[in-house]
Amino acid sequence: MTTETQKHLLELPNAFSDLDSLIAFLRGARSSAVEIDCKGVAAMPSRCLQLLLSAEQQWRSEELGFAVTNISESCRKSLSLLGLESNRFEDEETA
């Protein structure tokens, strides 16, 4: 099991951006703590949010760290529009 946190820069310039790189990253980091950097996210599409929430639940159930960082104001607005608190990923312990 890898103890080093695996990091991924999530780049979603629009709501129709491809999620394949995020999916591949999550599959490859299954036994490690992960950090997903959202500085490249213009808007959080619902399908991406579903993936992040599902992954977060899986990682936490396995007692692995899961963090989503650098959430922009427009991304926070997307979270609110999708029915979540804008600070949803900040309330959780990240390591």
Of 49, 40, 84, 89, which is closest to residue 65 (Cα–Cα)? 89
Q: Given this model, what pLDDT does residue 90 score?
A: 75
Q: Give tens-digit pLDDT for 15-56.
A: 888 999 999 999 999 999 999 999 988 888 899 999 999 999
Q: Given this model, what pLDDT does residue 13 score?
A: 87
Please give the DSSP secondary-structure letter assigned to residue 95.
-
Note the CATH architecture for domain 6-81: 2-Layer Sandwich (3.30)
Domain limits, the chain = 6-81
Q: Given this model, what pLDDT does residue 82 score?
A: 86
Q: Given this model, what pLDDT does residue 93 score?
A: 47
pLDDT at 92 over 70: no
Mean pLDDT for all residues in the chain: 88
Q: Given this model, what pLDDT does residue 43 score?
A: 83
pTM for the full predicted model: 0.85
Sequential DSSP letters for 21-65: HHHHHHHHTTTS-EEEEEEEESS--HHHHHHHHHHHHHHHHTT--
Q: How far does Cα 40 stand from its chain's mean position? A: 12
